[in-house]
Each structure stands twice: as C-alpha cells, then as structure tokens.
Amino acid sequence: MSADGRRWAVVPAAGRGERYGGRAPKQYERILGRPVLSWTLAALLADRSIRRVVVALAAGDRRFGRLDEASDARVQACPGGAERSISVANALESLAGAARDEDWVLVHDAARPCLQAADLRALIDGVGRDPVGGLLAVPVGETLKRAGSNGRVESTVSRDGLWRALTPQMFRYGLLKRALALCIDRERNVTDEAAAIEAMGLRPRLVRGRGDNIKITHPEDRGLAAAILAARARG
C-alpha cells in the first residue's frame, strides 16, 4: 500500500477531565492566551495533507464554536460519547462516504497541545507503508514501582521494552472502524486506538516521538505545556 494514501484526523474532545478537576474541561483551559484544543487543532491543520479534522464533542458543548479553528473549512464536529472509543467510532462514522477503507486516520488527544510538525511527519513516514499502522511513543526512562494495597512498594518493574504511548496514532480507516466496533460490541473499554488494534491480534508499529508531546492530565501539566510552547516560540 502506498504511503501517499489520503489522510484524515480525529480528535476525541468529549471528556469532562475528572482527574484534572478544573472549572472547565481541560481541553478548554487556556495556555498562553489560547484554549488547549486550539493549539491541538492548529498542529494538525498545519499539515496540509490532512483532508479533514473531525472533533467529537460532548452534548451541549458551547465552547467549541468560539475557537478560531472551528471555522476552518477542514474542521468538522460530531457528537462524542461517554467513552473515548465511542467518540472515535462516532467520528469515523461521520466520515462514511468520504473516507475509504484504505485511507489513513490519525487520532490525536484533545489535551495534547505540544505536537511538533516533525513528530507528525515522522509518524506519517514511519507508518505509511506498514500493514498494521502505528503510534508515536517514547521509551520509558524512569524506574517503575508496583504498589501494593497498603500504599507501599510491592516490586520494582523492569522497564526493558516498555514504551509510553503518545498520540497521534495512525491506522487504516476500515481496520480501525472494525476494531473499535468489536471492542464496543464486547464492552471492552480501551484507552487508546492501538489497544483496539491489538485486540484483533495485530501489533502496531512504535515510532519514537518527543517526550515533550505531553498530555494535560493534572493542573500542573498546564504550566509545563505553557513553558514548552513558549520556549518553542522563542526558537
């Protein structure tokens, strides 16, 4: 299959961010004067090879329409779901009739505003001829501990061969649609698209990305993202 196949992007943005605990969903918190989701969408839209970016939104979301990126001709919104897999599946369904089974879909976290163009291109180039697809990831560098029920260390876990999954994750439209449908039908909750592909017995390719492609999960992550984006702006 060609590496030059058509490409689409999906951003699941229906989450409420319970772990974040802010006044607004974390994708709408502001970093350097812009909402997190604005940074995220801008990083995807900068790649002109992506034909459309579908954003899956929570019911009653009134914030999305205020983003500058929401008016971009390549941006489309659709209803999200209570789980990430449902949001992504809904977004894929909204592409029916436009996307072909052999097209590529890049799924990117709404709360990952620091994606670099070089990482996006590395994923496209590294996965574009792969029969399965793959994802950005970084090798685990820290020592890992497994906790017991009493809050004490139960064991030290070897980090050999362990990678931290990032996004985007890139798979063929038809394959990803089937994989998510299977997980939803079996009520198997998956936290990323690679896990849905793995559930079909396939092994996605790991493409090394940058460690500063962080996901905003806790309030302190917003300050770190702001520092990363500000440093990048200074060159």
Q: What is the pTM of this model?
A: 0.94
Helix%, strand%, coil% for the chain, nearest 5: 30, 25, 45
Kindly state whether residue 104 falls inside one of the protein's structural domains: yes
Kindly state whether residue 124 falls inside one of the protein's structural domains: yes
Kindly state whether residue 21 falls inside one of the protein's structural domains: yes
Kindly state whether residue 1 falls inside one of the protein's structural domains: no
Kindly state whether residue 79 falls inside one of the protein's structural domains: yes
CA dist., res. 41 & res. 39, Å (int): 6
Please check whether residue 213 is in contact with residue 166, taking contact to mean a CB–CB distance below 8 angstroms: yes
CATH of the domain at 164: 3.90.550.10
Q: Mind listing the pLDDT tens digit for each residue in 151-174?
A: 999 999 999 999 999 999 999 999
Kindly state whether residue 115 falls inside one of the protein's structural domains: yes
Tokens of 100: 């072909």
Mean pLDDT of 12-28: 78
Domain count, the chain: 1
CA dist., res. 137 & res. 168, Å (int): 9
Residue 106 burial (CB count, 10 A): 26
Q: Mind listing the pLDDT tens digit for each residue in 180-230?
A: 999 999 999 999 999 999 999 999 999 999 999 999 999 999 999 999 999
Q: How confident is the model at residue 233 (pLDDT cuts 50, 70, 90)?
A: very high
pLDDT at 194: 98
pLDDT at 16: 74
Q: Please state, in angstroms and as integers, the Cα–Cα distance from residue 228 to each residue in 55, 114, 210, 217, following that order.
A: 24, 7, 12, 16
Kindly state whether residue 166 falls inside one of the protein's structural domains: yes
Kindly state whether residue 2 falls inside one of the protein's structural domains: no
> Residues of the chain with pLDDT > 70: what percent?
96
Q: Mind listing the pLDDT tens digit for each residue in 76-87?
A: 999 999 999 999
Domain range spanning residue 84? 7-233
With both helix axes pointing from N to C terminus, report the angle between 36-45 and 219-233 in degrees, rounded to the nearest 10: 40
pLDDT at 235: 81
β-partners of residue 50 are 7
Q: With 60 as the cut, is the pLDDT of residue 113 above it?
A: yes
pLDDT at 4: 59
